[in-house]
Structure 1
Amino acid sequence: MSIKIFKNVYYRLPITIRLLITILLLMFVFGFIISIVEPDQFPTIFDGIWWAFVTAATVGYGDYVPLTIPGKVVAILLILTGGGLIAFYITSFASISIKHERDLESGKITFKSSDHLIFIGWNERTRQLLDITIDNDPNVRIVLIDRSLDHLAFQHYPVHFIHGDPTEDQILRQANIERAKRVVITADINQNERQSDNNTILATVAIRGNNKDVPIIAEILSKIQIENALRAGASTIIKSNDFMSALLYHELSSTDKAMPFDTVLQLLKKQQFNHINLPESLVDGSFLQASIFLLKENYLLLGLIRNEEWHINPKADFMLEKDDILLTMKAW
């Protein structure tokens, strides 16, 4: 019964583990036999096992050598069996390592770590987002899900690539969605706006179904789909078309010395926007007083939100009220 259980467990193990166990057992058997056949040359079983490994690996230190004919026969059998097994083990290990690297590049390997970021969709925005994220946090772990790529080399982009449809539960589990820190869904620029937004909403529904708490940042191209994305479970909506339209307007209306696009780009790369509830000590104070107070904490006050109305850079004597939300900026 015990032999049957051992066989069932043994044949379920990976081939490299099985080979290693076989080699260890074989070396022990030959070491035990040689210590019995030539006890003068091999006074202990460990000496025999050491000789078996050295001989099978073709190292041949020569510190232990069989002198009798029976001992030499044992050595011949060891060379014929053990040497081949060790060579096969090494080649199998190398083959498995190469296959693992290929599977990793082709997006077939499951991500097993936690507190990682998941990027959905591979495009120029994702590439730039990847660069900015790694520049600010070199230790961040990123998983990329995309169905258009056939492979992605880790040497070129330090992400764990998973090939597949982000609306499928199996693909999301492969990305370890249950233990993810945040998810970013970028719009598919190869499709029309409506289809791209539909795919984003479907991916949001699938993600929320697998992890009800993870923050989801979704890029939506059409205004009419924003409410649907929020209903699907998106935490933050990025309206890229609105942002680009406003930025283009600033470029059109800017003076020769102004560079709105470059300025905004540098701010977004190096600064972190924050929403802060108005401290009680600043209630009924002025915008200038709040600015001075926050500067001491290394925050730059940009404006405030009151009753869902945005006040950007109000006058210095603008009075603050309870429940105001301060808009600030801080370096990463």
Structure 2
Amino acid sequence: MRKIVAGIVVAIVAGLFGVTFVLGSVQRADAHGMCLSDTNALPADVAGYKGDQLVNAAAIIRAGIDLGVDQHGQVLAIMTAMGESGLRNITYGDWETSGVTNPNGTRTTSIGLFQQQDSWGSVQERMDPARSAGLFYSRLLAVPGWQNMAPTLAIHAVQINADPQHYARYEKSATAIVTALTTSCPGGSGAWIVPARGHVTDTFGSCDVDRPGQDERTCHKGTDLADGTCGGPVWAAGAGKVTYAGPQPFRGNVVWIDHGGGIVTGYFHMEAGLLVKAGDVVSPGTPIGKVSNTGYSLGCHLHFQVEKNGTPINPEPFMAAAGAPLPHQ
């Protein structure tokens, strides 16, 4: 731990992450086409790190993947958490263990995996593995030339440790963890990807919920995905052009994407402040919004709709044929 308080946090990415880390639900690829492995079956031990330490490492890696950070950046983040907390999400820091103070004599307020002080964000943000990792990545990405710096010095530029070489000893173990917890992406991370975290919670054609405007011929016109949290990222399922981004009756905040060949996808119930606008060209995995509960909705989820030549079709067989099957619990 033992670091001096850093400057003002650049916290623009904190909202990208949900409060809870849910295992085994990411299909997003990082900048070099690597995906998080199946975290429902974590290794028992990697370089001496086990259990919750590896769960925390997976959260850090996934946060990097969500931001498009490559494996080098993910290794730096894991090195940092190793050097600061031993990959444990602890509620205390240097003041409690060693009486360390800031340069102005005030007590340090470091907590969490990255031992971030009050200036980094709220207690909730700093104690959430994904959000605290996002805070770290935001500062790392702001360091000019970080990719070409010695790893420990790139981290030091973010953490401002009393010893710039403090993190060097963790590089080998961090690399082993990132290697063990990532894998080459399956077909679902290529031409088409699953557009949100979580699993199917309601299927195409179901009539269990009394939805406005539905009848026996239509009922549910899409497939719902949810992981039990709000604010998670929503990605474009495939390449195309945004034809609409904004509110629609009952659907809340919506994005429609034209993929050509008569195929259009819709993404409903997202937060205000959509990340794309009409006319934008997107690729598979382009962030377009965040999961929410807008419109006629009974909880935070993504309604994912696929239309062919203007007619809604079942997204599940379509996505399975495209190599990106929608996951079931």
Normalised by the shorter chain, which TM-score bucket?
Answer: under 0.3
TM-score (norm 2): 0.19
Indicate the structure with greater helix content: 1
TM-score (norm 1): 0.19
